Amino acid sequence: MNRHAATALMLAACSLSASADQPQKQTPDQRPNIVVIVTDDHSYQTLGTCEKDSPMPYPNFRKLADEGMVFDRSYCANSLCGPSRACIYTGRHSHMNGYLFNEHAAPFDGSQPTFPKMLQKAGYQTAIVGKWHLEAIPPGAKGDTSKYESDPTGFDYWEIFPGQGNYFNPDFITPGKDGKRVVKTEPGYATELVTQKSLKWLDQRDKNKPFMLVVGHKAPHRCWCPSIQNLGRAKQYADAIDPPANLEDDFADRPEFLKMTEQTLLNHFNVWSDEHLIKEVVPEDIQKMLSCPESKTLHTQYDWEMPEWVRMDPQQKEAWYNYHKARTVQLVKDIKNGKIKTQRDILLRRWRHYMEDYLGTVLSVDESIGQIMDYLKQNGLDRNTLVLYCGDQGFYMGEHGLYDKRWIFEESFRMPLIMRWPGHIRPGVRSSAMVQELDYAPTFCDVAGVNTKENMNTFQGRSLTPLFKTGEHQDFKNRSLYYAFYENPGEHNAPRHDGLRTDRYTLSYIWTSDEWMLFDNQKDPAQMHNVINKPEYAETVKELKALYGKLRKDYQVPEGFPGATGKLAVKPQWDCAPSRD
Ligand code: SGN
Ligand code: CA
């Protein structure tokens, strides 16, 4: 038995003796509770909160970081929402859990072992509210889409968004009595609704049992819509930070395929739906100057181009429109008065708008964390609850000129992770151990004392409990992580590639275009130079390729590349905005 399970038993024993002279009939189960707060597309670069002099002082993130442990080198196994979540629940790589892509995939196989199921079986009450995203409804799918749905398994209670979910007045799905899903539209803002529903569930749960709750937020996912009251509130943060030095990356000295990716701020960011410009106030010549090339093919109705717009009620629309109209008018003014002249000027302003909106959505997540922590404290639960905060992958904040994720480059491979559990996890520590989202499931089983051989053997990740004391541990020294991305053809046209991350290097093989890349992250942390063919790295390349083979074998990756059927896409397959009908 590990020390956490032992502590849990000890606490249970204490509560047994304490309850001897109390009237309660039932002894509360003292095993630790688990709260998992998962955001969508939150970048570690903007976690900011953990730095004392951060220009982004999200107070509740900072408190969580101060009271818990921040993992500085936490990575995902597949930088895409659904697949990464499948890795979180199963503790296994995509080729093992079968959920390779967001789109065009079979629905998640909910019959396989997952940590919620293991905890549920061991007597935990389990719930998920908000983002689940383990269904695979292809864009443009018409009619009956039930064959793509996958209801959460291992949860006593679930109330989830369909697919990606919406920011404004979102739909929630619950299981109906007849087994059919019930869909209800709820007035309000997604992050706030998910928080309220999570607190409601906590309040109504059976207080004699330990619980595991997943709080799944939509924020800060595209198209980056802050709540109405937070509109503009993150401008000060956006103004206080500098754009990345490689915002204007020309992709030289990297694999050719990078030039085909459709996720650049300059050419693929949609000025209406992503930057939220209001078309009516942009004269046509300026529209031409601003639009990314692909935007020219888009529909012209604002309703159509800003997918959240159709979700808003008249008051929300008015506030949203007025705010963005003023911002657009300012942009037009700055173009007319010559303040914005060049492509670089346009890019910089676009980046600021992007940051302001993105960081604005995180304000509500910060409020949510505050409310959840307050609830735990007020109800005497905070000491016996492990709170884990994570994103579902990383995200580009303009590094390499990009937004979105998918690539093995550091910013989308790495993800935010904070864990807090008073008395067990040393507060205020920054861990530099190499960890992966596959590790959460075994960690939860470990702390809950359901770390049986049978359970632990199903995982490809490993428990993080040895890191709780100092953030470092012998077992994590020299660890290397395997990564794979499959969704091609797919939105943003990132290629199929896999690879690894060691303490120092990132090695990747691009299956779509048969190219290798190697980054020496110590000398080139921004990953601007592919050194795969540099003679001075020849020995390293040999070693890393051998390690790549070993990792693939250890993780049981099949020959070739899973999911690679038919002709691989080497040409862009999608427009910058997919059709939404
Ligand atoms: C949507 C977004 C993409 C994003 C994917 C996957 N387009 O399709 O930009 O990469 O989700 O994101 S949007 O115009 O519909 O917003 S993920 O987080 O689910 O993996
Ligand atoms: Ca995501």
User: Which H or E run contains 518?
Assistant: strand 515-520
CA 335 remoteness from chain centre: 35
Whether 552 is in a domain gets the answer no
Q: Cα–Cα distance between 320 and 189 in angstroms, integer?
A: 13
Ligand 1 atom with the shortest distance to the CA of 273: 14
What pLDDT score was predicted for residue 174? 96
Whether 550 is in a domain gets the answer no
Distance (Å) from CA 80 to ligand 2 centroid: 6
Q: Cα–Cα distance between 269 and 292 in angstroms, integer?
A: 6
463: domain CATH number?
3.40.720.10
Q: What 3-state class would DSSP assign to 76? A: coil
Same domain, 408 and 324: no
- Do strands 505-510 and 497-501 pair parallel, antiparallel, or not at all (unpaired)? antiparallel
Same domain, 318 and 403: no
Residue nearest to atom 15 of ligand 1 (CA): 222
Ligand 1 atom with the shortest distance to the CA of 139: 8
What burial class does residue 297 get, using C-beta atoms within 10 Å of its C-beta: 0-12 exposed, 13-18 middle, 19+ buried?
exposed
505 touches 540 (CB < 8 A): yes
What pLDDT score was predicted for residue 56? 75
382 touches 373 (CB < 8 A): yes
Ligand 1 atom with the shortest distance to the CA of 221: 18
CA 184 remoteness from chain centre: 25
Q: Cα–Cα distance between 537 and 310 in angstroms, integer?
A: 54
What pLDDT score was predicted for residue 5? 44
Q: What is the largest CA-CA distance in the chain?
A: 81
Distance (Å) from CA 44 to ligand 2 centroid: 13
* Ligand with the closest atom to the CA of 83: 1
**What is the rounded end-to-end Cα distance, in angstroms, of the chain?**
54
Residue nearest to atom 12 of ligand 1 (CA): 81
> What are the beta bridge partners of residue 2?
none
User: Which H or E run contains 216?
Assistant: strand 211-216
Using the 3D structure, point to which of 311, 331, 356 is the last residue of a domain. Answer: 356
Residues 6+ apart with CB under 8 A from 355: 234, 237, 238, 241, 397, 398
What pLDDT score was predicted for residue 73? 97
Using the 3D structure, point to which of 356, 389, 420 is the last residue of a domain. Answer: 356
Distance (Å) from CA 401 to ligand 1 centroid: 18
How many folded domains does the chain comprise? 2
Whether 26 is in a domain gets the answer no
Whether 522 is in a domain gets the answer no
What pLDDT score was predicted for residue 138? 66
CA distances from 466 to 366, 379, 470, 471 (A): 28, 29, 9, 8
Q: Which residues line ligand 1 (CB under 6 A)?
A: 40-41, 80-81, 102, 164, 221-223, 404, 491-492, 577
Q: Cα–Cα distance between 322 and 324 in angstroms, integer?
A: 6
Same domain, 131 and 193: yes
DSSP state, residue 294: G
- Tell me the residue ranges of DSSP E strands in 347-459: 385-390, 417-420, 429-431, 435-436
Q: Cα–Cα distance between 45 and 278 in angstroms, integer?
A: 29
Q: Cα–Cα distance between 287 and 295 in angstroms, integer?
A: 10
Whether 117 is in a domain gets the answer yes
Same domain, 203 and 103: yes
Using the 3D structure, point to which of 356, 389, 424 is the last residue of a domain. Answer: 356
* Ligand with the closest atom to the CA of 262: 1
* Ligand with the closest atom to the CA of 103: 1
CA distances from 433 to 120, 472, 482, 532 (A): 30, 6, 15, 26
Q: Cα–Cα distance between 45 and 335 in angstroms, integer?
A: 30
Distance (Å) from CA 112 to ligand 2 centroid: 22
Whether 492 is in a domain gets the answer no
Whether 152 is in a domain gets the answer yes
User: Which H or E run contains 365?
Assistant: helix 343-378
Pick out the chain residues at pLDDT < 50. 1-24, 295-304, 565-581
Same domain, 309 and 397: no
Residues with Cβ–ion distance below 5 A, ligand 2: 40-41, 81, 392
Same domain, 133 and 149: yes
Same domain, 266 and 348: yes
CA 281 remoteness from chain centre: 34
> What are the beta bridge partners of residue 157?
127
Same domain, 59 and 182: yes
Residues 6+ apart with CB under 8 A from 49: 56, 57, 58, 61, 62, 65, 366
b/e for 536-575, b at 16 or more Cβ within 10 A? ebeebbeebbebbeebbeebebeeebbbeeeeebbeeebe
Give me 173's structure tokens.
Answer: 């799905």
Residues 6+ apart with CB under 8 A from 179: none
Whether 12 is in a domain gets the answer no
Ligand 1 atom with the shortest distance to the CA of 270: 14
Residue nearest to atom 13 of ligand 1 (CA): 222
List the domain range (segments joined by +) for residue 385.
Answer: 33-138+145-224+364-484+571-579
Residue nearest to atom 19 of ligand 1 (CA): 81
Q: Cα–Cα distance between 455 and 272 in angstroms, integer?
A: 48
Distance (Å) from CA 577 to ligand 2 centroid: 17
Would you mind telling me the total number of residues written for the chain in this entry?
Answer: 581
Same domain, 55 and 171: yes
Same domain, 349 and 384: no
Q: Which of 164, 270, 295, 404 to mutate to test the pocket of ligand 1 (most atoms within 8 A of CB)?
A: 164
Q: Cα–Cα distance between 428 and 486 in angstroms, integer?
A: 37
Same domain, 192 and 82: yes
DSSP state, residue 496: P
CA proximity to 115, closest of 483, 385, 436, 443 = 443
CA proximity to 264, closest of 34, 503, 580, 572 = 572
Give me 72's structure tokens.
Answer: 């500085």
Distance (Å) from CA 489 to ligand 2 centroid: 18
What pLDDT score was predicted for residue 139? 61
Give me 362's structure tokens.
Answer: 């995180």
Distance (Å) from CA 452 to ligand 2 centroid: 31
Q: Cα–Cα distance between 207 and 403 in angstroms, integer?
A: 43
Query: In degrees rounded to 5, what are phi and psi of residue 508?
Result: -145, 145
Same domain, 67 and 170: yes
Give me 60's structure tokens.
Answer: 């509740």
DSSP state, residue 29: P
357 touches 277 (CB < 8 A): no
b/e for 214-230, b at 16 or more Cβ within 10 A? bbbbbbbbbbbbbbbeb
Distance (Å) from CA 223 to ligand 1 centroid: 9
CA proximity to 215, closest of 361, 390, 97, 47 = 390
Distance (Å) from CA 222 to ligand 1 centroid: 6
Residue nearest to atom 8 of ligand 1 (CA): 491
